[in-house]
Amino acid sequence: MSIEIQQSSVKIPLVDSTALDLDAFIPIFHEWIRERRIEEELLIDVADYRHVPYGPGVVLIANEAHYALDGSGGTTGLLYSRRRDEVGDAKAAFREALLRAATAASLIENEASLGGILKFDPSRIEMRVMSRLTAPNTEETRLALEPVWSGLLSSVGFVGAELKPQSDPREAFGLALQSCAEAPDLARLLAAL
Amino acid sequence: MSKDNGVKSWVGQLGASISSDMAEEIDAFETNIKLRKAGKLDAKIFAEARLRRGAYGQRYDNGRRHDGSKTQELVYPSGDLVKGPETIWDAPGMMRIKSPMGIASNEQLETLADLAEEYSDGILHVTTRQEIQLHFVHIDTTPDIMRRLAAVGITTREACGNSVRNVTSCQYAGGCRTAPFDVTPYAKATTYFLLGHKDIQDFGRKFKISFSGCKTNPCGMAMFHDVGCIAVTKEVGGETKRGFEFYVGGGLGAVPFQAQLLDGFVPEEELLPLCQAVCRVFSRLGERKNRARARLKFVIKKLGIEEFRKVVAEERKIIPEDERWTTYLADLDSTNETPLRPGRPLEQSAIDAIDTPVQEEFASWRKHNIWPQPQTNYVTATVRLPLGDFTSEQVRKLTDITRKYTGNTVRFTIEQNLVVRHVSESDLPDFHEGLVAAGLCSPGASTIADIVACPGTDTCKLGISASRGLAAELEKKFSGGKHEDPEVEALHIKASGCFNSCSQHHVADLGFLGVSRIVDGRRIAHFQFVLGGEWANNGGAYGLAIGAYPSKRIPQVIDRTLAFWKKEREEGEDLKGFVARMGRAKIKKELDDLRKIPSYEEQPDFYTDWGDSREYTIGDLGTGECAGEVVSIVDFGLQDAERRLFEAQLDLEAGKTGAASVAAYKSMLTAAKALIMVFNIDIQEDADRVIADFRTHFHDTGRFHDPFAGAKFANYLLKRYESPPSIEDNDLAAREAIDEAQLFVEAAQGCYQRMQGDI
């Protein structure tokens, strides 16, 4: 049975969050807009939240989604947050979110001005569905969505993935990859998607 | 999960938790969205409808954005569909959410957090009117946002547009040592009495009300509100009566006015009928066409306070009796908050038990972020929010803290922070520890490091300079610093992106408003420096405009100014007194070299603004939606001319006759330049260019000529250009210059209105 969701998000943590210099992302994201680096998106603006502790850092605002160097939840990484126009059912939406997040993370890893100092770690990947209407943070939702997300991870090279749901019921439903026997690196993940 | 027609929806989900009135209003708004999408509702009408529901436009919503080298089209999927004039449907917008008196419950905070995550960018922004704004919101999602807010008792109704805006009040009300009584129930009654009231539906402009508990502290800011109420008591027949000093006609913006006292003691039972009478007079006599003069302050300026007082008194007599005027008085305790935990003192042993590295942080936080309450052993704690921003995750951590230590509410402040009241002193170390874990423990509340900024060029369509970028830079500069001089530490900095004064820069010790200048053919972000405003005494005095300085030099401007003050001040002289004694000219001279601009080749980053790597431009300025009607860049320019004229009048009153003459001439040039922008957006500052273009487009074509006076007013400008005013001008010459400038600026307003087909 297909499950409809809205506002799926994927976060790919940084290997070393201390290497992150948020200041660098102001010109980088402006350049992405100027050069239309993400072809699938209408890139609109850069939102600067460097002053907010554990916040979204610097956000690239797009028509369908936002891309942030996010420090929430004790994990710093690239957060892709779909805002609208989901592509289909949960399976398709998760796949699309994972692809967009991995693509943006790859762009950052290869960003010349950063000199290759930022690397992402898919083995700690996190997923959320921000829409509390379509995916309230309940056991029922977990039973419905965990197999979909788990299946997607298996299909792109994650072996033995163990997922942990977000524990605070006030938060949006989410699953964090707690451990796995094998995880693809970013290049392999992108190739598999 | 409830469903409508098999599809999950918030209508079905929330059901009866929304009152039928609110549900009906929101449904009607959603219908408007559908009608607009179907082309069956005029864009301007829809724009007004969404504004009255708190849905604003945002920068770049005209589909154009300058990327630093050229303007790029933003091609949205919605194509030609617009949600207002030149406002593309799909473009992100801003949602303003009212919180009367700045009060929010835990449940309301958590709903706001959910909405920020789902529909915005995960950030809640506190405004200088004690509200919350969400940015980057799509118009299609606004009905659901409104429903989810309505389900927890929040409305966005009349958050924008020509209406009574969020009623503000002292954040300490009910827990304040200097207030004779708690103003909260009165502010609440005023809010809900006027919300949607028929007498406020036909205003020509917005209307702002505030409540203060006392005259001295800067909480309610009565002096710059349309209506400002200050709590007072009076002995009547051996009984202490509650009432209010009732001020009217204050306002900031391009032409700031101090409020005037309408009545020294309005008994509590007369508060609502008097507010209603003032609203009715404003609705009847307020300007409609000339938006630059449509606020209540201009009605009072025109009539004079004595005549205005008579008109209001006459109006009061004819208003039909309304039982709501007094019914709330029977239940004034309904807004009281009960502390969750018993009040106990903080013992030194508890402080000593704090880990050593944290002890210093705790002491620093406690020094400025704590406000002792009159209730024994209770304090109010300020949670300082850098630039007014906090995240959804921080909200949830905060409500964990309030549920554990204090109770059910917080209050947002006009300094873009929030306060948690009724904290038992003995709980402070643990309370602080919780804030540290949430990243909400910034010390220095209400100090020089606690900078207020409007959205500016970050998201506002009208922003000229990066007020938030500047504020972030200054905050870095001053945060964590140990200031040797406590008088410096106590200063306030406020930065606005334009002259509309959303940061309230006029009442800051160090205020800034965004402007721009062209140097060698390149535009450079600047800030006009407004020095020596008074934050205390309800915003008791406005600062003095010193001059415009490049944005990138503002930190130096501050350093230099403070050094000058510290070096030259007299014993016990505060900054305001120093500025008054020293005068503009001497201060300006002290800062003069900071106006210099390095060449582009030498320092290209000087040609960008704070927090933005793009080369600076004003090409992204859009059409404002401040009050439901369009505010074009020409309107802006004309308002700026009004401001300059106002400054000329101040100079004259201060006996600076030559400066008054010069300022009056500049106001004419500014008005002319504003009109020229219709034909030439990049018109430069210099008088030769302005006059040449004015002749070409307005004088020689007769476009500027008055229907009755012909070329008379245009010739005032041309005459002044041929024979410019002198700094030596005497009183007579200055008065003549101001009179002519007044007529010229009004003629410019009339010309622009004719051009728009308004006349």
Please report the pLDDT score of residue B633 as a whole number.
67
Chain B residues touching residue A44 (CB < 8 angstroms): 60, 65, 74, 91-92
Any idea what the Cα angle at residue B330 is, between residues B329 and B333, rounded to 5°? 85
* β-pairing verdict for B510-519 and B493-496: parallel
Q: Are residues B685 and B657 in the same domain?
A: yes
Q: How far is A193 from chain B (nearest CA, A)?
A: 26
Q: Is A74 on the interface with B (CB under 8 A)?
A: no
Please measure the distance between the N-terminal and C-terminal CA atoms of chain B and give it in whole angstroms. 56
Helices (H), B286-355: 296-303, 305-318, 324-327, 348-352
The answer to whether the CB atoms of A83 and B391 lie below 8 A apart is no
Residue B166 lies in a domain: no
Amino acid at B226: D
Single residue among B335, B366, B399 that ends a domain in this structure:
B335
Interface of B with A in 265-294 (CB under 8 A): none
Residue B415 lies in a domain: yes
Characterize B114-134 residue by residue with b for buried, 16 or more Cβ atoms within 10 angstroms of its Cβ, and e for exposed: bbbbbbbbbbbbbbbbbbbbb
Per residue in B487-507, pLDDT tens?
Answer: 999 999 999 999 889 999 999
Residue B627 lies in a domain: no
Instruction: Determine the residue of chain A that is closest to B75 in CA distance.
Output: A42
Residue B48 lies in a domain: yes
Number of domains in chain B: 5
Token pair of B316, please? Answer: 């009061």
Look at phi and psi of residue B651 and say left if phi exceeds 0, alpha if psi is from -120 to 50, else beta: alpha
Q: Are residues B300 and B384 in the same domain?
A: no
Q: How many helices and strands (H and E) does chain A possess?
A: 4, 8
Please report the pLDDT score of residue B567 as a whole number.
95
Please report the pLDDT score of residue B1 as a whole number.
40
Per residue in B635-654, pLDDT tens?
Answer: 767 877 887 888 888 889 88
Amino acid at A80: Y
The answer to whether the CB atoms of B393 and A59 lie below 8 A apart is no
- The minimal CB distance from B67 to the residues A33, A47, A72 is found for A33
Residue A45 lies in a domain: yes
Q: In chain B, what percentage of residues exceed pLDDT 90?
A: 77
B27-36, B108-117, B392-401, B619-628: which has the minimum mean pLDDT?
B619-628
Any idea what the Cα angle at residue B723 is, between residues B717 and B726, rounded to 5°? 105
Q: For chain A, how are helix, strand and coil distributed in percent, rounded to 5?
A: 35, 25, 35
What are the DSSP E strand ranges found in B174-259?
A: 209-212, 227-236, 239-248
Question: How many Cα atoms are found within 13 Å in the side-chain-facing hemisphere of B267?
Answer: 10
- The minimal CB distance from B92 to the residues A44, A55, A85 is found for A44
Per the structure, the complete domain to which residue A163 belongs is given by: 8-192
Q: Is B547 on the interface with A (CB under 8 A)?
A: no
Q: How far apart are CA B282 and CA B312, in angstroms?
A: 9
CATH code (residue B383): 3.90.480.20
Average pLDDT over every residue of B460-482: 90
The answer to whether the CB atoms of B472 and A53 lie below 8 A apart is no
Q: How far apart are CA B268 and CA B243, in angstroms?
A: 5
Q: In what order do the strands lie in the sheet with B522-531?
A: B452-453, B493-496, B510-519, B522-531, B544-550
Q: How far apart are CA B445 and CA B380, in angstroms?
A: 12
Average pLDDT over every residue of B398-424: 97
The H or E element containing residue B84 is strand B82-84
Per the structure, the complete domain to which residue B423 belongs is given by: 348-438
Q: How far apart are CA B608 and CA B620, in angstroms?
A: 14
Token pair of B345, please? Answer: 């003192």
Chain B residues touching residue A130 (CB < 8 angstroms): 117-118
DSSP, collapsed to helix, strand or coil, labels residue B169 as strand
- In the A/B pair of chains, how many CB contacts fall below 8 A? 118
Q: How far apart are CA B643 and CA B254, in angstroms?
A: 5
Chain B residues touching residue A33 (CB < 8 angstroms): 65, 67, 72
Residue A1 lies in a domain: no
Residue A169 lies in a domain: yes
Average pLDDT over every residue of B589-618: 94
Residue A181 lies in a domain: yes
Residue B162 lies in a domain: no
Q: How far apart are CA B236 and CA A34, in angstroms?
A: 70
Q: Are residues B81 and B195 in the same domain?
A: no
DSSP state, A112? G
Q: Are residues B74 and B196 in the same domain?
A: no
B402, pLDDT greater than 90 = yes
Token pair of B456, please? Answer: 């500016």
Q: How many helices and strands (H and E) does chain B possess?
A: 24, 28
DSSP, collapsed to helix, strand or coil, labels residue B49 as helix
Q: How far apart are CA B277 and CA B57, in angstroms?
A: 32
Residue B626 lies in a domain: no
Please report the pLDDT score of residue B481 as a whole number.
62
Q: How far apart are CA A102 and CA B625, in angstroms?
A: 39
Token pair of B215, please? Answer: 């005259």
Question: How many Cα atoms are found within 13 Å in the side-chain-facing hemisphere of B378?
Answer: 23
DSSP, collapsed to helix, strand or coil, labels residue B707 as coil
- The minimal CB distance from A51 to the residues B76, B396, B472 is found for B472
Per residue in B243-252, pLDDT tens?
Answer: 999 999 999 9
Instruction: Determine the residue of chain A that is closest to B473 in CA distance.
Output: A51
What are the DSSP E strand ranges found in B373-449?
A: 378-383, 389-391, 409-412, 418-424
Instruction: Determine the residue of chain B that is closest to A24 in CA distance.
Output: B613
Q: Are residues B433 and B461 in the same domain?
A: no
CATH code (residue B290): 3.30.413.10
The answer to whether the CB atoms of A52 and B396 lie below 8 A apart is no
Chain B residues touching residue A30 (CB < 8 angstroms): 67-68, 612-614
Average pLDDT over every residue of B108-137: 97
**Interface-testing mutation among A29, A34, A38, with chain B (most B C-beta atoms within 10 A):** A34
Q: How far apart are CA A83 and CA A130, in angstroms?
A: 9
Residue B15: closest CA among B2, B28, B25, B26:
B2
| Torsion of the alpha carbons at B461, B464, B469 and B471, rounded to the nearest 10 | -110
Please report the pLDDT score of residue B758 as a whole number.
53
Token pair of B10, please? Answer: 């918030």
Please report the pLDDT score of residue B524 as a whole number.
94
Q: Are residues B405 and B458 in the same domain?
A: no
Residue B655 lies in a domain: yes
Q: Are residues B317 and B362 in the same domain?
A: no
Q: Are residues B558 and B646 in the same domain?
A: no
Number of domains in chain A: 1
Q: Are residues B643 and B750 in the same domain?
A: yes
Per residue in A24-45, pLDDT tens?
Answer: 999 999 999 999 999 989 999 9
Residue B260: closest CA among B236, B225, B284, B232:
B225
Amino acid at B229: C
* β-pairing verdict for B493-496 and B409-412: unpaired
CATH code (residue B665): 1.20.120.330
Chain B residues touching residue A50 (CB < 8 angstroms): 472
Average pLDDT over every residue of B31-57: 87
Characterize B320-343 residue by residue with b for buried, 16 or more Cβ atoms within 10 angstroms of its Cβ, and e for exposed: eeeeebbebeeebeebebebbeeb
Residue A73 lies in a domain: yes
Please report the pLDDT score of residue B759 as a whole number.
44
Q: Is A124 on the interface with B (CB under 8 A)?
A: no
Please report the pLDDT score of residue B405 as a whole number.
98
B425, pLDDT greater than 70 = yes
Q: In chain B, what percentage of residues exceed pLDDT 70?
A: 97
Residues of chain A with pLDDT under 70: 1-2
B211, pLDDT greater than 80 = yes
Chain A residues touching residue B361 (CB < 8 angstroms): none
CB atoms within 10 A of CB B219: 25
Q: Are residues B742 and B671 in the same domain?
A: yes
**Interface-testing mutation among B3, B136, B152, with chain A (most A C-beta atoms within 10 A):** B136
B630, pLDDT greater than 80 = no
Residue B251 lies in a domain: yes
Average pLDDT over every residue of B692-717: 92
Which residues have CB under 8 Å from B425's CB, separation 6+?
A: B343, B344, B345, B346, B377, B378, B379
Query: To the nearest whole number, what is the mean pLDDT of chain B?
Result: 92
B628, pLDDT greater than 70 = no
- The minimal CB distance from B118 to the residues A26, A61, A131 is found for A131
Please report the pLDDT score of residue B650 as a whole number.
84
Per residue in B565-583, pLDDT tens?
Answer: 999 999 989 999 999 999 9
